[in-house]
Structure 1
């Protein structure tokens, strides 16, 4: 799922060259994924709590397969945006069921590993998708067809794997009622959720910057026109996030989320400085630091929230986490696309960085308050 989500990062500038659409359409094509993701998450996010994990995952993979065919056949930007929406719907429907399955299928002594894999799969898939797509564009004559044909095959293999996997959830009534859009955070987890939400938003805004805006910045600010560079820029942040999610899993969750906060602040300052000075290397380094912050903070957030969530509300709580994440991932990118023309990229990126810094400050204060309350 996330391999496919990361693949369009270096492809979008290719589409822009082929069909000659403005930057705002490019950012809309990126953010359309987040819109589809949220729509599915808000409606089907708790569905697997009622009908089981396997039916939801198989259905989502079938929708994912349809999106790959749409990308292969796309004749214009409208089709690409529609394919991104369908892709987002597939991933949004699958994410909470997938994360809940990992938590439930993991042996008792490896429950923490299940939560870590749930967060690493997101960033690791995005990283590989961006890198492999960049390589395909650079070294093959028909990258779009090759990339999405491979992803279609992977979706079919995924369906087979899920069909052979044991069901981990007990069916219960209320499936139709669960499709009514709502946020559903377990009562015992609400305090931790509220404290983690601004940190999650800040780190996912950094993710949107590296995966959604970086190709445009590379071309328009740093004046480098290379699909491979676009793929690498999209890769470094997500790869650093995946690695740090594993490396820092031994840290106490509270320490992990604070580490993520500090790294996100440094990354935001570095990204703004790189754009103002025209230093591409600084932006890449900042993306690596931001990826470390993302991996540490997001994994720690899940480790703080999920143990407080009972089985009946697990998928709904996961859905709420990802609602915060994907609003931060998609909406600010669209706003940059709208504001870049009248204000210029440097000004809009300064504003983007300022919002991230404000969010991490709010998150840091919330974490210190929880620590102080626990000691009292």
Structure 2
């Protein structure tokens, strides 16, 4: 019996598969939505840290360990997996990242102590690190020819928007919905199931090429022609992400201890004021020249953080909120200029690795100062620690301004 008819795909079969694939515009929008889901999931635990502390009676040191293991997993994934999709294709890496994120969310749902919470956060870090570089590269692959800067814009807007959405949504659910430590993870898990279906339907945008196994060896490389541009971006990336790390790790706790704001919704709003303002700013400044945006980012990060410090010192919620909004404008301007620049400069075979370098710098700045701050808070209190941390960010913002002026000179 001839079995070739059942084993070999026909031309009609191949056409049917192609018809089932998402179009490039639809895939671009879907990848942007998946990026929102990942970044929202990464910030969702922030307003819950206070709840976990009340349930399990752990210290600020333990809280920062929970925060740190996420970043350890994320940076490890960036170093090991950052360039993998350039070799094996975008879809396999995305499917694996979504699957691992789903496992982490199941652990969050089952968590009854700090140990399970740590495991969930670590796995979530690995999944997020693998996803971020691949999603960013995929957006550039799918960028419509008539709008060459769109992928860079989306890569700039979506991460802070997702962080804001995750924090505010979680805060609202914890404050007003049942099952405060479960419902948000169930919703995110449903979103990941939908994301997996979307990825299976999207076209592959990166051709397979040799070197996949070698790409797993941890290394950070920037092509020689891009090194000067990358070096000029480092100060502003460090300043903005260091500030973001403070808000996502200790922001809700500062709202409770320093300002006496016990509402979980307010705890989520603390992060949203910074990140949401950043997302709006990135969109509003999308047509501005990059050098001007970089200068604006350094100036407003510095000024906004200084105003926030005055509010913390004076115990004024309104002044601290105003400073956070000003700093949020700088945060968004930084994301737009830095990641938008990389999106335009990188060649297709460089995208995964270059985004891995930029994100590694960002998340080291995001995590290490926040961990140090968490440890310092046990000895010096949140008030003093927040002031010292803010002063460091002010200094970093000033350094970013100097770096940009030197680069332009």
So what's the TM-score if we normalise by structure 1? Answer: 0.96
CA distance, structure 2, for counterparts of residue 97 and residue 121 of structure 1: 14
Structure 1 match to 2:337 = 300
CA distance, structure 1, for counterparts of residue 268 and residue 382 of structure 2: 20
2:326 is the counterpart of 1:289 = yes
Change (3 A) 1:119 1:303: closer
Q: State the 1:106 CA deviation.
A: 1.0
CA distance, structure 1, for counterparts of residue 361 and residue 353 of structure 2: 13
SS in 2 for 1:110: coil
SS in 2 for 1:144: coil
| Contact 1:186/1:309 (<8 A) preserved | no
2:110 is the counterpart of 1:76 = no
Of 143, 148, 152 in structure 1, the residue corresponding to residue 185 of structure 2 is 148
CA distance, structure 1, for counterparts of residue 68 and residue 396 of structure 2: 21
So what's the TM-score if we normalise by structure 2? Answer: 0.88
Structure 1 match to 2:383 = 346
Structure 1 match to 2:211 = 174
Q: State the 1:271 CA deviation.
A: 2.3
Structure 2 match to 1:125 = 162
CA distance, structure 1, for counterparts of residue 70 and residue 323 of structure 2: 25
Root-mean-square deviation (Å): 1.2
Give the aligned length: 372
CA distance, structure 2, for counterparts of residue 31 and residue 175 of structure 1: 29
CA distance, structure 2, for counterparts of residue 220 and residue 179 of structure 1: 44
Q: State the 1:313 CA deviation.
A: 1.4
CA distance, structure 1, for counterparts of residue 332 and residue 68 of structure 2: 21
TM-superposition CA deviations, 1:239-294 (whole Å, max 9, x none): 11111111111111111111111110012212221221111222222222222111
TM-superposition CA deviations, 1:68-88 (whole Å, max 9, x none): 001000011221122111111
Superposition pairs of residues 45-64 of structure 1, within 5 angstroms:
45-64=82-101
Of 374, 384, 390 in structure 2, the residue corresponding to residue 337 of structure 1 is 374
Of 187, 195, 198 in structure 1, the residue corresponding to residue 232 of structure 2 is 195
Q: Indicate the structure (1 or 2) with the bigger Cα radius of gyration.
A: 2
Q: State the 1:371 CA deviation.
A: 1.3
In structure 1, stretches of 5+ residues that fail to align are none
In structure 2, stretches of 5+ residues that fail to align are 1-37
SS in 1 for 2:248: helix
CA distance, structure 2, for counterparts of residue 234 and residue 346 of structure 1: 17
Structure 1 match to 2:364 = 327
| Contact 2:160/2:278 (<8 A) preserved | yes
CA distance, structure 2, for counterparts of residue 10 and residue 213 of structure 1: 10
CA distance, structure 1, for counterparts of residue 242 and residue 389 of structure 2: 8
Q: State the 1:14 CA deviation.
A: 0.4
Of 264, 283, 294 in structure 2, the residue corresponding to residue 257 of structure 1 is 294
Which 4+ residue blocks in structure 1 deviate beyond 3 angstroms? none
2:258 is the counterpart of 1:221 = yes
TM-superposition CA deviations, 1:295-331 (whole Å, max 9, x none): 1111111222332222221111100101111011111
Structure 2 match to 1:34 = 71
Structure 2 match to 1:275 = 312
Structure 2 match to 1:164 = 201
Farther-moved stretch of structure 1 (154-163 vs 309-318)? 309-318
2:237 is the counterpart of 1:237 = no
